[in-house]
């Protein structure tokens, strides 16, 4: 009698089977989104030293900036405290937290897309029927987020090495660490909820809370005179409760605290372990917080009502965020004039962004313009909800009833385009609350951003209707517009470059002269784009 020895793979190895194939597939699906967002974030960081050198070229100017920040709590809340007067330290101060937050957004979108989105669409069940381990999809999603964050860290480190290799490495690792903290957090939330939309919303809410905690803590800190916590002189308990605060207190280019990276690594490891534990204790498609069953009798009588039910949470979140941003920016207005003072370089940047009608009006116009750029992200996400409903096969049974394609699309587009108007209006009301002056002109300045926002929304409708496979490329368009609007004026980019963005053609309000010609042209362009996209949607085959 002969015996045959069989090699049995360990259980942990079987649960990760197929990870490499799924990772390659995830990176292929994100071959547009990840490079665009990594490139945008890296350019924001790498363009800053040259801009700051033009603004604060001497030690005296940088010292004056630091003194102004110590006495201006609203600017500290928005940007954070300054820990050094070198160009590297000022770069980390000016963009570190914001790029960290953008890396967090990219990471959570990647993880949710390749975990809960796949389960909700039913594709994960098909994948799991093959030689794929239980935790392979989660591992591939986290590795895809890690690739994006590692690429961003590498670009930041290499690009800023001229300001100091140690500081550049610290900033790059800190930004990547924040991104991975929210990637693993999204992995946990994806196990808890049945809806990808809810998973993205909850993780984004945690990111918003982290930003608020950091802002509240920084508003009460100034130099070394504020409260202390742990080993950090001039630190706040609230800031230490936020991962964005950890990035700030890593202090790149200013006597780096390398032990702060251990906090980021520990959070990533702990959250990752929790996500893996939860993934092994539930069935595919299920969750630990199941969705409540709906009423026995349906109450949604129209496609528009269904669209509102699907998007109302997003509209509410963006509305609150824009109102609060308006309040904060409005409260910063007087302090911004004091901060710029006699610095001609900073004054010129604000004038390029907001017009030459006075520093206060230029600052208001530039901040309103920035919110308009962010509103473009909202309208892209809202319009592409059509794409998500179609590719997940939820639109097909709806359209099999007495619901036409245009009626189905119109419900989502009304929310997308009308929601953009709502959040900009609320931003104007927030400015009025924070600034307490000139309510009418500020509201008009916010609403005049809508034609450019709607053009970006029209591009999303066009791509979804005519070339649905390229619909996600709209995120690249929005990212490019955001980059031009943010970095272009600081780098004194040529007018031809600024005019690539529809926002470059808008009148600079408040303070500037209203020009109806460009506004009407942009409105007409938006109408043409939407009409062409809907015509394409009506004629093409639906994605199944």
Q: What is the 3-state secondary structure (H, E, C) of 415-464?
A: HHHHHHHHHHHHHHHHHHHHHCCCHHHHHHHHHCCHHHHHHHHHHHHHHH
Q: What is the pLDDT of residues 419-458, one digit of tens each?
A: 999 999 999 898 888 777 777 888 888 999 999 999 999 9
329, 215 Cβ separation under 8 angstroms: no
Q: End-to-end CA distance of the chain, in Å?
A: 55
* DSSP SS3 for 232: strand
137, 22 Cβ separation under 8 angstroms: yes
Q: What is the pLDDT of residues 364-386, one digit of tens each?
A: 777 888 889 889 989 998 998 88
Residue 228's pLDDT is what?
Answer: 37
Residue 57: other Cβ atoms inside 10 A: 12
Q: Write down the pTM of the prediction.
A: 0.77
Residue 28: other Cβ atoms inside 10 A: 8
Closest CA to 302 of 199, 412, 228: 412
Q: Is the dihedral of CA 413, 419, 422, 424 positive or negative?
A: negative
Which single residue is written with the structure tokens 């030690």?
Answer: 59
Residue 2's pLDDT is what?
Answer: 43
In the chain, which stretches have pLDDT less than 70?
1-13, 69, 71-75, 220-235, 283, 285-288, 290-298, 334-359, 487-493, 544
481, 501 Cβ separation under 8 angstroms: yes
Instruction: Give the C-alpha distances (Å, rounded to integers) separating 432 from 151, 321, 377, 389, 453.
Output: 41, 15, 24, 38, 22
* DSSP SS3 for 193: strand
Burial class (CB in 10 A: 0-12, 13-18, 19+), 12: exposed
In angstroms, rounded to a whole number, what is the distance separating the alpha carbons of residues 132 and 308?
A: 37
Distance of CA 520 to the CA centre of its chain: 29
> DSSP E strands: which ranges in 147-251?
none
Q: What is the pLDDT of residues 78-122, one digit of tens each?
A: 777 888 888 888 888 888 888 898 899 899 999 998 888 888 777
- Kind and range of the H or E element at 370? helix 359-391
In angstroms, rounded to a whole number, what is the distance separating the alpha carbons of residues 461 and 475?
A: 12
Distance of CA 507 to the CA centre of its chain: 26
Taken as a whole, the chain contains a residue count of 544
In angstroms, rounded to a whole number, what is the distance separating the alpha carbons of residues 464 and 400?
A: 20
Burial class (CB in 10 A: 0-12, 13-18, 19+), 29: middle
Residue 405's pLDDT is what?
Answer: 87
Q: Supply the DSSP string of 386-425, one letter for each residue.
A: HHHHHHTTSHHHHHTSS--HHHHHHHHHHHHHHHHHHHHH
CB-based contacts of 460: which residues, under 8 Å, 6+ apart?
Answer: 379, 380, 383, 384, 471, 474
* DSSP SS3 for 289: strand
Residue 352's pLDDT is what?
Answer: 52
Cα-Cα-Cα-Cα torsion 195, 198, 199, 201, nearest 10 degrees, comes to: 160
Residue 173's pLDDT is what?
Answer: 95
Closest CA to 256 of 43, 96, 148, 74: 96
């Amino acid at each position: 009698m002969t015996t045959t020895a069989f090699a049995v793979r360990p259980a942990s190895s079987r649960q990760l089977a197929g990870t490499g194939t799924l990772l390659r597939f995830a990176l292929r699906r994100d071959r547009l989104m990840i490079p665009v967002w990594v490139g945008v974030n890296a350019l924001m960081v790498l363009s800053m030293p040259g801009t700051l050198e033009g603004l604060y070229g001497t030690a005296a100017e940088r010292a004056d900036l630091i003194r102004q920040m110590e006495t201006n709590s609203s600017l500290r809340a928005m940007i954070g405290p300054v820990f050094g007067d070198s160009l590297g330290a000022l770069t980390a101060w000016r963009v570190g937290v914001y790029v960290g937050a953008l890396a967090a957004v990219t990471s959570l979108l990647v993880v949710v897309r390749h975990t809960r989105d796949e389960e909700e669409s039913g594709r994960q069940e098909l994948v799991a029927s093959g030689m794929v381990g239980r935790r392979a999809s989660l591992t591939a999603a986290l590795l895809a987020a890690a690739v994006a964050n590692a690429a961003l860290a590498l670009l930041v480190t290499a690009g800023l090495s001229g300001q100091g290799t140690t500081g550049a490495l610290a900033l790059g690792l800190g930004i990547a660490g924040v991104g991975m903290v929210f990637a693993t957090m999204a992995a946990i939330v994806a196990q808890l909820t049945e809806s990808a939309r809810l998973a993205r919303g909850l993780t984004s809410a945690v990111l918003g809370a982290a930003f608020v905690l950091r802002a509240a803590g920084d508003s009460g800190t100034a130099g070394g005179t504020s409260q202390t916590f742990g080993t950090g002189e001039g630190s706040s308990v609230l800031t230490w409760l936020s991962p964005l605060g950890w990035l700030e207190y890593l202090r790149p280019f200013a006597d780096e605290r390398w032990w702060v990276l251990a906090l980021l690594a520990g959070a990533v490891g702990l959250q990752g372990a929790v996500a893996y534990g939860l993934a092994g204790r539930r069935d595919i498609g299920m969750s630990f917080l199941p969705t409540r069953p709906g009423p026995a009798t349906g109450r949604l009588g129209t496609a528009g009502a269904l669209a509102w039910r699907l998007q109302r949470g997003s509209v509410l979140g963006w509305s609150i965020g824009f109102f609060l941003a308006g309040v904060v920016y409005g409260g910063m207005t007087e302090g911004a004039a004091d901060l710029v003072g006699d610095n001609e370089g900073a004054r010129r940047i604000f004038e390029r962004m907001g017009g030459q009608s006075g520093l206060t009006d230029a600052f208001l116009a530039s901040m309103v313009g920035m919110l308009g750029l962010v509103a473009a992200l909202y309208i892209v996400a809202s319009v592409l909800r059509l794409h998500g409903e179609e590719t997940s096969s939820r639109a097909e049974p709806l359209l099999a009833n007495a619901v036409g394609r245009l009626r189905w699309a119109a419900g989502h587009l009304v929310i997308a385009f009308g929601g953009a108007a709502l959040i900009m209006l609320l931003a104007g009301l927030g400015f009025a609350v924070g600034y307490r002056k000139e309510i009418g002109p500020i509201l008009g300045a916010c609403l005049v951003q809508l034609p450019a926002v709607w053009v970006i929304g029209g591009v999303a409708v066009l791509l979804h209707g005519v070339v649905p496979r390229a619909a996600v490329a709209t995120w690249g368009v929005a990212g490019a517009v955001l980059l031009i609007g943010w970095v272009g004026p600081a780098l004194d980019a040529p007018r031809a470059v600024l005019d690539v963005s529809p926002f470059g053609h808008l009148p600079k309000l408040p303070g500037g002269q209203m020009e109806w010609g460009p506004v009407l042209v942009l409105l007409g362009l938006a109408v043409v784009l939407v009409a062409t996209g809907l015509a394409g949607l009506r004629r093409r085959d639906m994605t199944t």
